[in-house]
Structure 1
Amino acid sequence: MDFMDDASTPEQVMIRRAKLKKSPINGSLELLPLCNMDCDICYVRLSPSEMKKKGRLRTADEWLKLARQMEKAGVLFLLLTGGEPLLYPDFKRLYLELRKMGMILTINTNGTLIDEEWAEFFGKHKPRRINITLYGAKEETYSSLCHYPGGFNKTIKGIQLLKEHDVDVKVSCSITKANYNDVKKIFSIGRELNVPVHIDPYMMPANRERYLPFAMQARVAPEEAAHISLDTLKLQFSDDIFRQYVEQSIARVNDPNFPRGDGHISCLAGNCSFTINWQGEMRPCVVMSEPSVPVFETGFDAAWKEICTSAQGMIINPKCTKCRLRPLCKVCVAASLLETGSYDGIPEYLCRYSEETYRLLLKEAKHYG
C-alpha cells in the first residue's frame, strides 16, 4: 500500500513537493527478518539460523546514527517493519529516540505480540498509526497459511488493546487461496472494531514461490483476484459510487488520450521514498532487490543519490505503456521484476488480471443498463 493512500492533505502537499524535488521524505526501516509466524506468502522472513548465515542485526545505535543523517536530509516519515518489528531487541529505545528527532512513525506488525504492556507503551508514545495484518477471519487460516495456531485471537486482542489506549490502527489483508472466502468477514471485523480495512487482491509472488506455476502458489489466480477486487469495492462503496467507478473505468480504457504514463516509476519509490533492509541495503522499495546500496558504509546522502539516479532509469515494457488496459493494470517495475525476473518483462499474471477486470466491468455496466 502506497503511503499516499491515506496521507492527510498537509502530508500529501509535502510529499508531492519532495517528489518533484527528488528529495527523500519517506522511508521504511526493516529492522529484522525474524518473525514469530511463518507465512507462506512472506518475502522477508528468515529463521535465526538462516539470518546468521547472511549477516547480523544492526544495533539501535547504528540505526540512530543513520537516522540523524536522514533527519538532516529532510526525512520526516518512517515506517518500522520487519519481519516482526516488536521482536527487535532494542525496539522501545529506538522508537523513542526517533520520536525525539521529530520523525513521524508508523509500524507494521502482525499484532500477535501486542499485550497490555505494549498497548500502554504505544498509548503513551503514540505513533502516526499501527498497521496490523489480518491474515484471515478464523483460526484455521492462521494455522494453514501462517503456521501459527491461536494467531487470529491474539491479533484481535491486540487490536482491541490498542484501541482501548486510543492508538490509531489500520487493518490490512493480502488475499490468498487460504483466506479469499474471509473478505466479507474481515470487513465485518473492521466495523466491529471500528478500524479501517485495506484489502489487496493483487499480491506479488513470494520469494519461495516465484518460479512456481500460478496454480501452485499461495496467491489466488489472476481471474479470481479480479473478481475479489470488484467485490471488495462493492463492500466499500455505495451503489451509486460503484456505478460511477464502473463507468469511469470503462471510459478510461476506451479513451486513447487518457494518460498511460511514460513507463517510469510513478509512485514514491526512488522519487522521494526509500527502504533500508536489516542488512543495511538501501533500495527504492521493499519488494525490489536492486538497485541496492550499503547505506551504513556509503552514508545516507550518497546512497540516496545513487538510488534516486538508478530509479529514474527504470522503465516498464513499452507494450505495457501503450496497452489500452493500462488504466486498470497494476504493473510497475517492481511487479515486472518479481513476476518475470526483468524490469521490462511483461507479467502474464497482470495481463490476465486486467483482462478479467475489464470483462467484469462490462458485465457490471450491462447490469446497470
Structure 2
Amino acid sequence: MHELIAAPFLEDFLLLRPGHASGVKIRGHHYLELRSLAAEEGPLPGWLCRAAHRRWGLDLDAHGSTREVVLVREPSPYGHGRASYEVNNGCNWACPHCVYGDKRHEGLPWPQRAKLLHTLRDAGVVWLELGGGECTIDPHFADTYAYAHDLGMMVEILTNGSTLDRPQLLGLFTGRRPYRITLSVYGATETTFDGFTQRRGAYRKFRRGLAAAREAGLPLSLSVVVTEANAHEAPAMRALAERYADRVREYTHMSPTFTGGSDPLAQQAPDYLHHRTPFTGCDAGHTSLNVNPFGLATVCKISRDHPIPLLREGVAGLTRLGGIADQALRRHSGCTDCALQQSCTTCMPLVTLYRKAGAPLDRYCQHA
C-alpha cells in the first residue's frame, strides 16, 4: 500500500500522505522524475526522503523502490481536482433540518460504482468527499472507500458517527487513513440530541463513535449545527466539539432541501443568524463537482440542473460542466439588475432554492 501520493493538482504538483491534511508542493521536474522512477521501479530519490521526513517525520531510507512507496497520479486534461460523492442518501436518523428531504436507501451496485470511481480518478480528482444521508451504512461503503483510497484519492468522510466504533470500520480507517472524518454535533445532552435526530440512543452512538475515532488517532473535524431545537445548548456543543477536534465549524443558516422543500427552514434559530461574506464566485463546475447516488454529475450539491450521466458518457461528459456552471451562476429574474449584487451573500442557485421553498426574503436577500 502506498505511503505517499504524487499528483498534479490544477497548476501545481503535490506530494501528499494519506491520512494527513498537510502536503508538499513539488516542482514539475520532480513530479516527472517520480513518474519515471515509478515506471522503471527505480530507487527513491534523496530529495523525496528528505521532504517526507521534514513534513511528516517519515523515515523512507529503509524502503525499496519508488513504486513501492509512491502512487504517482497521471495528469488529467479535465482539471477537476475535488469532488463530492453522495454514496447513498439513506440515513439511520431523521434530523428535521436535513437538506436531502426523503432519505431513500438507494445507490449504485458495485460494478457501476467502481466504474464511477475510475471516472473521477481520470477527471483528476485528488480530494474526494464521501457523504450522502449516512454513507457508512451503505452496503458497499467499505469497498467504495477502499477503492477510492487505492486509486490515489485523499478521502474525507461525512458521517453522523453512529457506526465509527465498529471494529470493521476502525480497521478500514486505520489501515487506509482518511485525511478527515467530519461529524455533526446536534446536542450536548442525550435528551436534546435524541430529540433532534428523532432516534432513541443516537447520542450514545455518537459519543461512542467519536471516542473510538479519537482513540484510534483518526483526523477529526466537528460541525456544530445550531437550530431552534438545540440553541440552548450551543455553548456546551462548542465545548464538546473543541475537546475532540482541532477543526471545529459552526453552522447556523438552515437551507431548503435540494429539491426546494421548505421543512428545514422551520428549524432556523433567528438569534443565531449572522452576517455572511459577499459571494464573489466559486470554482464549482470548473475544478470541482458533485455526484449523486446514481452517478449523475452536477455543478455542486446546490446547483443540480442539467446533470451529466457519467456512467454513460464517461469523463468526457465533464467538458460541458463548466458552461453549465457559468449559466447557473448568472443572475436572473429580480436579481438581474440589482444594485446590491457586489455585496450579495447568496449565489444564484441557492437563491433559486429559497424562492422555490417560499422562504422569507431576509433569509437570503439584502432587500428584506
Give unpaired runs (5+ residues) of structure 2: 1-19, 26-76
- d(CA) in 1 for partners of 2:238 and 2:297? 35
**Cα distance 1:22–1:139, how it changes in 2: closer, same or farther (>3 A)?**
same
Partner residue, 1:277: 292
Task: Measure, in 2, the Cα distance between the counterparts of 1:47 and 1:260.
Answer: 30
What is the correspondence of 1:46-195 to structure 2 with a 5 Å cutoff? 46=102, 56-117=106-167, 118-195=169-246
Q: Which amino acid aligns with 2:158?
A: N
Does the C-alpha gap of structure 1 residues 184 and 309 become closer, same or farther in structure 2, counting only changes over 3 Å?
Answer: same
**Residues 211, 79 of structure 1: alpha-carbon distance in 2 compared, 3 angstrom cutoff:** closer
Distance in 2 between residues matched to 1:154 and 1:296, nearest whole Å: 36
Instruction: Tell whether the 8 Å contact from 1:66 to 1:300 is kept in structure 2 after alignment.
Output: no
Aligned 8 A contact 1:22 1:308 in 2 = no
Amino acid corresponding to residue 311 of structure 1 in structure 2 = A
Gap change, CA 1:209 and 1:301, over 3 Å in 2: closer
Q: What's the offset of the Cα at 1:211?
A: 4.2
TM-aligned CA distance change 1:277 to 1:226, over 3 Å? same
Alpha-carbon separation, structure 2, partners of 1:128 and 1:82 = 18
Q: Provide closer, same or farther for how the CA distance between residues 209 and 68 of structure 1 changes in structure 2, counting only shifts above 3 A.
A: closer
User: How many matched pairs?
Assistant: 295
8 Å Cα contact 1:35-1:45 kept in structure 2: no
Identify which of 21, 27, 30 aligns with 2:83: 27
Query: Can you list the C-alpha shifts for 1:125-177, whole angstroms capped at 9, x where unaligned?
Result: 11010011111222223333211122122212211111111110000133211
Please state which structure has a larger fraction of its residues in helix. 1
- Is it true that 1:323 corresponds to 2:343 in the alignment? no
CA distance in 1, matches of 2:337, 2:236: 35
Change (3 A) 1:139 1:209: farther
- TM-aligned CA deviation for residue 277 of structure 1: 0.6
- 1:115 deviates by 1.2
Of residues 335, 340, 344 in structure 1, which corresponds to 2:355? 340
Letter in 2 for 1:69: T
> In 2 relative to 1, CA 42–320 (structure 1 residues): closer, same or farther, beyond 3 Å?
farther
Could you tell me the TM-score, scaled by structure 2's length?
0.70
1:311: Cα distance to partner?
Answer: 0.6
Cα deviation, residue 64, structure 1: 1.6
Instruction: Report if the CA contact (8 A) 1:113-1:154 is conserved.
Output: yes
Asked if the contact 1:134/1:173 (under 8 Å) is kept, the reply is yes
2:363 is matched with which residue? Answer: 349
1:239 matched residue in structure 2: none
State whether residues 256 and 264 of structure 2, in contact with CA within 8 Å, keep that contact through their aligned partners in structure 1: no
Query: In the aligned structure 1, how far is the partner of 2:337 from the partner of 2:195?
Result: 36
The answer to which structure, 1 or 2, has the higher relative contact order (CA under 8 A, 6+ apart) is 1
Q: CA deviation at 1:58?
A: 0.5
State percent identity of aligned pairs.
22
CA separation of 1:288 and 1:135: change in aligned 2, threshold 3 A = farther
Which secondary structure does the structure 2 equivalent of 1:68 belong to? helix
Residue deviations 1:13-60 (CA, integer Å, cap 9, x gap): xxxxxxxx9721110111111111011111225455xx5xxxx52122
**How far apart in 1 are the matches of 2:236 and 2:250?**
12
* Unpaired runs of at least 5, structure 1: 1-5, 12-20, 231-248, 250-258, 356-369
* Letter paired with 1:32: N
Q: What letter corresponds to residue 121 of structure 2 in structure 1? A: E
Q: 1:129 to 1:186 in 2, by over 3 A?
A: same
Q: Is the 8 A contact 2:182 2:223 kept in 1?
A: yes
Distance 1:130 1:86, change over 3 A: same
Larger Rg: 2
Describe the shift of the 1:267–1:22 C-alpha distance in structure 2 as closer, same or farther (beyond 3 A): farther
Tell me the equivalent position of 2:321. Answer: 307
Q: Say whether the 8 Å CA contact 1:260–1:322 is kept in structure 2.
A: no
Pairwise CA distance, 1:189: 0.7
2:256 aligned with 1:205, yes or no? yes
One-letter code aligned to 1:29:
Y
**Residue pair 1:205, 1:219 contacting (<8 A) in 2 also:** no
Distance 2:309 2:102 in 1: 20
Distance 1:335 1:91 in 2: 29
